[in-house]
Amino acid sequence: MVGTPELDTVLDICEHKHRRIVLAALADQHQSLSIDDLVEAIVRHNHHTSPSEAADKVVTRIRTGLHHVHLPKLTEAGFIQYDSERQLVEPTAQLEQAESHLSVILAVDSELPTPLEGP
């Protein structure tokens, strides 16, 4: 049985805004999301627009950052499973176990739409 993730791990993961947005989106939807869904969530929160209205280089930079930095870090921490071939991100049981820590951290980020709700 996997224990609750250490607070230090959760804080490290939540250090970057894009990872906080990804975690909030996954926790809110409680299902797998595509890379396109996550890019859209980040563009909406950071740029207050849709990906179709954002500059191509901004969308490309976000997508590249997700693929090369943020999703591997979230995978390594055990919070997601990332299928790069299908471009699909799935929350894990460890993400659910970290919800108590995450809800407090994400609630502080006033730009995110809704903090995680407890069980």
Question: Mind listing the pLDDT tens digit for each residue in 51-64?
Answer: 888 889 999 999 99
Better pLDDT: 58 or 5: 58
- Residue 95 pLDDT: 87
Helical H segments across 7-113, by residue range: 7-13, 17-29, 35-47, 56-65, 71-76, 93-97, 99-108
AA letter at 91: P
In this prediction, residue 1 has a pLDDT band, given cuts at 50, 70 and 90, of very low
Residue 103: pLDDT over 60: yes
AA letter at 55: A
Residue 87: pLDDT over 70: yes
Q: What is the arithmetic mean of pLDDT over 72-91?
A: 94
CATH of 7-108, one of 1.10.10, 3.30.70, 2.40.128, 2.90.10: 1.10.10
